[in-house]
Structure 1
Amino acid sequence: MIWTLPLALPGTLVDHHRLDLTALYSTGWGLTLFDVAGAANGEVYALYGLYRSTYGVDDEEQDPQIADFGYRIINRYSAEGEVLASAYFPTGGAREGGSDVADGGDIGLCVLPDGVLAFTGTPDRTTLVAPDLSRVLAVYDSKDVRPYGEFTPGEGDPFAGAISVTPSGRLLCTLAEYGVWRYGNVLTNLVGIAEGGLTADSKPAIRALASLDPQPAHQSDVDLRPHAMYQGAPVGMANRPRPALTELVAAEDSLSGWQRSTLGRPVPLSDDLFVVPFYAETFRGGSRGRPFVFALVNDQGEMTGRLHGLHEWRDSPFTGFCFNLAADPHRGHAFHLNRYGLYAWNKAGVLRAKLDTDTKAFKPLTHFTLGSCASNGDLLLAHTKQHLILRIPAPDDLADLAATVEEALRAYARQRTALKKQWAPVNWHWTHSAPLHRI
């Protein structure tokens, strides 16, 4: 079933702040979609940020019509597309998070095997939220705010900066480290796998599989990660997986040697095979044509291959910074969407489909970004201008992907028209009156 879901704002918050939905974002407010995730029962969750930050407003201003604000909001949708509830976290008066669903995001959402939501962020912050969004169950936070403050060992209780779930319930995680590429802050640098459940009462140990920067600078004993192990000892200082991914492909970018490259969010192709994306340094003057790798890494930390078939220039994810990947581990399919097409691979890393956005049928895909695959493999795409989420049924055979997506885009146009009549959005901003929880 094809569904189009509105990324609807809680009407209570809109009214409280008397938010002018007709105003341009350049006036100091905005809406940013961070991630979407699907649960085993067919429900869908969307994580986004809503903020207002107006130059010249006093920090002590109390009038909600004038005051700056910032929220991270989670919407919960039924399997039929109805908004069931929302929850919000106040975050202050500025936009939270420097990236959105397209860039692979440094803020993420995952549905754990027991249905609990894991809301994640760098560095290694994991918040567990009840499936009905009524309450926070636990917070695992590294409390590492360097370079903006001191870091006290043992003060924090970290877990992961991003989580994906394999078919058997293993947790594919990313971890951050201090001193990556000699920067004085904490950046994502490790990929690991965790066995066992993540609950409000306990967290499983993470076994490190792969690293990006093989030798982060200026680390000491305070930078050891007791919850993450490599070869029987906590990750940190000289103890991390080697050779690093960047060392394995160093010859492919002889100019920079992959210095200042970025680790994307990995996704599982199966229980024991994962796609780990990483991207060369971006330049202010344009980065199209810069190298990138979608590496295949097994659960022993071996790079066994990669997703093939993309040209560094003609298929560049750097145009528009479209760095997200999605995977359907039950069928062994991986997906990537950027400004040039929607790409699909099989478990062997062979490109089985490319839906070229130069063609009339698939040109509308340039307005969408790839969120994730739902637990049944359905593709979740987001139209971040019209603030709609498109759910596309997963084809069993990638040869059927073109026909499936073409039909979904036609259905999207029809369903969007019906939603406009039903919801009467203001400048493509939708509002709902479902229950709202402050958590």
Structure 2
Amino acid sequence: MTLLPITAPAFLLDVHRLDPEAGGWGLRVDHAVATTAGDTYVLAGLRRYRAHAAGSADPAERDFGYQLITRHDTGGKPIATAVFGQAVPGGVPSAIPEGDSATLAVLPDGAIAISSKPGSTHLLSPDLDKVLASWPMSWGWEKQQGPRDDPFAASITVTPAGRLLCMTSEYGLSNWAGAHPNIVAVSEPGTALGPGRKPVLRAIATLDGRTDCQSDTDSYAHVRYADAPVGRGNRPSPSLTEALSELTGTSGSLYGYLDSTMTRPAAFGDDLFVVPVFGKTYRSSNRGQEFSFALVDDRGVLRGRLGGLHLREDSPFTGFDFTVVSDPHHAHAFHLNRYGLYAWSADGVLRARMSTAEKPFKPLVHFALLECTPAGELLLAHRKQHLLLRVPVPQDLDDLAVAVETALKGYGRERTMLKRQYGPVNWLWSDDAATVNPH
């Protein structure tokens, strides 16, 4: 099966009497990952808002907002769903709060990590029936030190050797309030994340080095540089903001890298990583604004950028598609935005570009790129039809365009088969077969 439905538990829809034909509800697909055995985990958000629902005690009238992790077996069948973010009607409060920009990772021992900004990480069992551990982090205006503010990472990517490539956040940056993702860090091979085990992360890159506002409490023991916790001046230097400004000749420019942001790093292998960095976002059009997919090694050296992209013609700011994914086993990286699908080799050379202006690839504008599986498949989520398309990547990237065109041509046929099986209404795929685990 190359097409999977992104489902919602039937019992939740029944409890809330959600009418798919009515307005006010939405299903958001955040991320997906796959195991080496071929199982797939999909992270989504299901919510409803009704202007007249305030104060109602009836679940059929109340607003709700859940996050869902659904496990699909190798045949594509949903077999288990974890429900969290708020209490299921009649249940206890959720042990996992709803997270912002959440992503998944399959850890070497099979546990599923869900990480979200600014730095919260929660571990679930492979069957999604247990919450194994939690490390929460508040945004800052509600900052609490001690056991209630014990973060791990805002995102985790696992390298082939089992290293954890992480993005972590800091307080006290420049004149910003709250916590912001600012550090790229890696664990050492053989260290594990689990109940009672939080490995040391070695910082290899800082996005923004303006830390004059930091205090002694704005550091965490597990994120270290030069044998001490990262904080104030103890950090990798120069910052990515400074290094990319110098590399691109944009130092001091209004449209340079000052006040830039970064998204989840991807791994080319165990010692080379891609860090997506984007210039400041303005209220007006940002097409043409600076961005870089920076190549950073595990010693923190900036090795250049993924090449071949035009600031305007290939801008990820249209639609805000900032995700880069990688296949570390074949040293490939991929990016999809409203203008095309792109693929690079580990030397940063652009090997394939499929423009959405060309007829065979126009449907790509309806998809978001989520991940690349251990088997070398791209996971693409349809933004409106809530289906997950798996696209096999050939070893030779010169053949990728043919593989993508073939997958897009087969999409309609497989979608018809799933519609006969599930009978979705308004592209809401209801499932009553998977085991549901409220957390």
TM-score category, normalised to shorter length: over 0.9
Query: 1:352 matched to which residue of 2?
Result: 351
Alignment partner of 1:212 is 2:207: yes
Task: Give the superposition deviation at 1:41.
Answer: 1.0
Alignment partner of 1:151 is 2:140: no
What does 1:231-246 correspond to in 2, within 5 Å?
A: 231-246=226-241
What does 1:28-427 correspond to in 2, within 5 Å?
A: 29-59=25-55, 61-91=56-86, 106-142=101-137, 144-147=138-141, 149-153=142-146, 155-195=148-188, 196-251=191-246, 252=248, 253=250, 254-256=252-254, 257-427=256-426
- Quick one: structure 1 residues 329 and 68, their matched pair in 2 at CA, closer, same or farther if it must change by over 3 Å? same
- Aligned-partner SS, 2:409: helix
2: CA distance, partners of 1:375 / 1:172 = 16
1: CA distance, partners of 2:288 / 2:54 = 44
2: CA distance, partners of 1:151 / 1:414 = 52
Report the AA paired with residue 403 of structure 2.
Answer: T
Report the AA paired with residue 146 of structure 1.
Answer: G
Report the AA paired with residue 255 of structure 1.
Answer: S
2: CA distance, partners of 1:201 / 1:378 = 34
Task: Give the superposition deviation at 1:153.
Answer: 4.8
Task: Give the superposition deviation at 1:19.
Answer: 0.6
- Aligned-partner SS, 2:217: helix
- Aligned-partner SS, 1:127: strand
1: CA distance, partners of 2:264 / 2:304 = 17
Provide, for residues 26-56 of structure 1, a one-character-per-residue CA deviation record: whole Å limited to 9, x for no partner: x3x2211111111111000111111123234
Task: Give the superposition deviation at 1:108.
Answer: 0.8
- Quick one: structure 1 residues 145 and 306, their matched pair in 2 at CA, closer, same or farther if it must change by over 3 Å? closer
Task: Give the superposition deviation at 1:150.
Answer: 4.1
2: CA distance, partners of 1:407 / 1:23 = 35
Task: Give the superposition deviation at 1:181.
Answer: 4.0
Report the AA paired with residue 318 of structure 2.
Answer: T
Task: Give the superposition deviation at 1:418.
Answer: 0.9
2: CA distance, partners of 1:155 / 1:115 = 26
Whether the 8 Å CA contact 1:327–1:334 is kept in 2: the answer is: yes
Task: Give the superposition deviation at 1:88.
Answer: 0.4
Report the AA paired with residue 156 of structure 1.
Answer: D
Percent of residue pairs identical: 46
2: CA distance, partners of 1:96 / 1:198 = 21
Query: 2:438 matched to which residue of 1?
Result: 438
- Aligned-partner SS, 1:362: helix
Report the AA paired with residue 224 of structure 2.
Answer: M
Report the AA paired with residue 80 of structure 1.
Answer: G
Task: Give the superposition deviation at 1:127.
Answer: 0.4
- Quick one: structure 1 residues 201 and 244, their matched pair in 2 at CA, closer, same or farther if it must change by over 3 Å? same
Unmatched 5+ stretches in structure 1:
99-105
2: CA distance, partners of 1:115 / 1:180 = 35
2: CA distance, partners of 1:364 / 1:370 = 13
- Aligned-partner SS, 1:221: coil
Give TM-score, length-normalised by structure 1: 0.93
Task: Give the superposition deviation at 1:23.
Answer: 2.0
Whether the 8 Å CA contact 2:173–2:214 is kept in 1: the answer is: no
- Quick one: structure 1 residues 415 and 32, their matched pair in 2 at CA, closer, same or farther if it must change by over 3 Å? same
2: CA distance, partners of 1:151 / 1:201 = 20
Whether the 8 Å CA contact 1:346–1:352 is kept in 2: the answer is: yes
Unmatched 5+ stretches in structure 2:
89-96
Task: Give the superposition deviation at 1:155.
Answer: 4.6
Report the AA paired with residue 34 of structure 2.
Answer: G
Task: Give the superposition deviation at 1:84.
Answer: 0.9
2: CA distance, partners of 1:66 / 1:154 = 36
Q: After alignment, is 247-256 or 321-330 more displaced? A: 247-256
- Aligned-partner SS, 2:140: coil
- Quick one: structure 1 residues 264 and 90, their matched pair in 2 at CA, closer, same or farther if it must change by over 3 Å? closer
Whether the 8 Å CA contact 2:143–2:149 is kept in 1: the answer is: no
Query: 2:91 matched to which residue of 1?
Result: none
Provide, for residues 156-180 of structure 1, a one-character-per-residue CA deviation record: whole Å limited to 9, x for no partner: 3221110001011100000001133
Report the AA paired with residue 74 of structure 2.
Answer: A
Whether the 8 Å CA contact 1:70–1:92 is kept in 2: the answer is: no
Whether the 8 Å CA contact 1:107–1:120 is kept in 2: the answer is: yes
Indicate the RMSD between aligned Cα atoms, in angstroms: 1.6
Whether the 8 Å CA contact 2:172–2:218 is kept in 1: the answer is: no
Provide, for residues 317-369 of structure 1, a one-character-per-residue CA deviation record: whole Å limited to 9, x for no partner: 00000001110000000000001110000010000000111111111111101
Report the AA paired with residue 41 of structure 2.
Answer: Y
Provide, for residues 110-146 of structure 1, a one-character-per-residue CA deviation record: whole Å limited to 9, x for no partner: 111111100001121110001111111110123x342
1: CA distance, partners of 2:379 / 2:259 = 30
1: CA distance, partners of 2:398 / 2:319 = 27
Whether the 8 Å CA contact 1:177–1:216 is kept in 2: the answer is: no
Q: How many residues align?
A: 424
2: CA distance, partners of 1:216 / 1:11 = 49
